[in-house]
Structure 1
Amino acid sequence: MTRTTLLPLLLPCAALLAACASSPAPHGQVKGAEASSREMGQSDSNRVATLAMRANLDSLYLLMSKLYRRNPVEWKKTATTREEAEKKVRDAIEQRQPWPELQGKRDIAAMTLALAPDFKGDRVAAFIDATADMIIVAHGNKIEFFLVDGLDAQHLYNAARNVEIAAWVLASRRNASGAPLLLSDEIGGDVRNLSFEREFGKIVGRLDLMAEFSTERYRRAGISYVQNLLGGSFLQFLPVR
């Protein structure tokens, strides 16, 4: 086939590619939460903390679902279906009920037990529940925040480091037989799945941002007070008649 005969065939393809380049595939859009009367008792910082907490819990629930899919033997220890196992863990977290297999331990002590090589229970449930509990404890044992609530920036910072440590342990520690504690990210051959690492990274990023935001809040309150004083004295319109 000559170049002359190819040209009529290539032109439509080029036009199609150009159209695709100028019209990127949709990637969704940001969606705000529905308004609630409870927001009347929240400052802007309370609302940000509440939204960040909900996003972190949702990330943990997503990680739980992905871990159960890669490690089906775990959910079979506590439920008859994966969906049932996920619901049990979510209910325990949202209702602040201790996970039975964690022997009454909480936050970092519970995380240590869940990641112990000799742990025999549902490791996915124990790990997700313990990590959620640690994050909630770092927020003053609250999931939703109001005007009377405050956050400790150092506790939030420490929670971010704990999630980093947990992600590293999950990826590197082996049980007595030499197998990973849980199958998660996978890199090898043509397979490259780092979705677990990305989701852990989102949680760490939110916690670090909230820690920095908490330290800024009180400093900015002082600056705003001074700005209001200066505004009252120097930034008023002058009479013209």
Structure 2
Amino acid sequence: MRRRLILAAALLPWGLLGACATKPGPQGRSETHFDPKYLVKTDIDRVVDTSREQVMEGLLRIADKLYRRNPREWKKAGLADREAALARLGRYRDEAPPELAGRREGPAALQAFSPDYAGDRIQALLYGLLTMVDAAYEHKDEFFVLDSLDEQKLYNCARNMEIAVWKLAAARSDSGEPLLLANELDGGSRNLSFEREFGRVIGLLDFMSKVVADKNGRTITRVTHSLATSLFLPVGLLK
């Protein structure tokens, strides 16, 4: 029996082997469990799943860092603490901030850098970026063999992260104060953790745009933009 099982496993495609998992069963016996969803999942689908998860987690880490440095922002909404603000961001699909008046993606993120905006700037920025990434991944949490992505949306999303990094560093109030405290470069206090986390997110999006372009047999249209004057590039509205 054991020999037949080994032979059967050797003849299985790698994708089917990935669908099997051996776990301890009753009385210490090993049991093999099979997840049928992996029959319709390719290796690329699993890479897409992981990249999306990592990008979203990276953006929420950036939100956490920003709220730590700018507690006044979550206090504007009368929230109990930073954790409540992060939990609110985690509901970005179901809970659109009323103060953004229906804005999503780039238009929402831009509100964070408007001197006249009275709402939570971190919520505006990260709600915009989260909905932007969600659109780039076609509003899906999990991908299967028949699902497809647009490499240009992923590429534009990566460039928008670069714009967000620049605006975080450059946006000032009328009195010359930063609208949001992020990186520090003063004297011995050198903190570039925001740029590092954004760099990781940008790298993941660029990697996925190349993988998808190769899979689709298409070429990405490279965009030249001035960070100082640029609006966020279209993602969800890209045709």
Where on the TM-score scale, by shorter chain, does this alignment land: which range? 0.7 to 0.9
**What are the within-5 Å matches in structure 2 for residues 54-203 of structure 1?**
54-78=53-77, 79-90=79-90, 92-93=91-92, 95-203=93-201
Output the CA distance in 1 between the equivalents of 2:59 and 2:38: 25
Deviations 1:16-63 (A, max 9, x none): xxxxxxxxxxxxxxxxxxx79444432211111111111011111111
Could you say what secondary structure the match of 1:76 adopts?
helix
- After superposing the two structures, state which structure 1 stretch, 96-105 or 116-125, moved more: 96-105
8 Å contact 1:157–1:211 — kept in the other structure? Answer: yes
Deviations 1:207-231 (A, max 9, x none): 0000000111144xxxxxxxxxxxx
The letter of the residue matching 1:45 is I
Match of 1:19 in 2: none
User: Residues 144 and 114 of structure 1: is their aligned pair in 2 closer, same or farther, counting only changes over 3 Å?
Assistant: farther
Match of 1:41 in 2: 40
Deviations 1:174-215 (A, max 9, x none): 122211110000011111100000000011100000000011
Work out the number of aligned pairs and report it: 184
User: Residues 40 and 97 of structure 1: is their aligned pair in 2 closer, same or farther, counting only changes over 3 Å?
Assistant: farther
Deviations 1:99-156 (A, max 9, x none): 2222101111111223222211011111111101011112222232222210111111
CA RMSD, Structure 1 to Structure 2 (Å):
1.9
8 Å contact 2:104–2:127 — kept in the other structure? Answer: no
Comparing both structures, which one devotes a greater share of its residues to strand?
A: 2
Match of 1:20 in 2: none
Gaps of at least 5 residues in structure 1 are 1-34, 220-241
Output the CA distance in 1 between the equivalents of 2:72 and 2:122: 10
Correspondence for 1:208 among 196, 206, 228: 206
TM-score, length-normalised on structure 2? 0.72
8 Å contact 2:58–2:201 — kept in the other structure? Answer: yes
Compute the displacement of 1:163 (Å): 0.6
TM-score, length-normalised on structure 1? 0.71
Match of 2:5 in 1: none
Match of 1:12 in 2: none
Match of 1:224 in 2: none
8 Å contact 1:46–1:146 — kept in the other structure? Answer: yes
Could you say what secondary structure the match of 1:201 adopts?
helix
The letter of the residue matching 2:66 is L
Gaps of at least 5 residues in structure 2 are 1-20, 22-33, 218-239
Could you say what secondary structure the match of 1:66 adopts?
helix
User: Residues 46 and 82 of structure 1: is their aligned pair in 2 closer, same or farther, counting only changes over 3 Å?
Assistant: same
Could you say what secondary structure the match of 1:187 adopts?
strand
The letter of the residue matching 2:97 is W
Match of 1:51 in 2: 50
Comparing both structures, which one devotes a greater share of its residues to helix?
A: 1
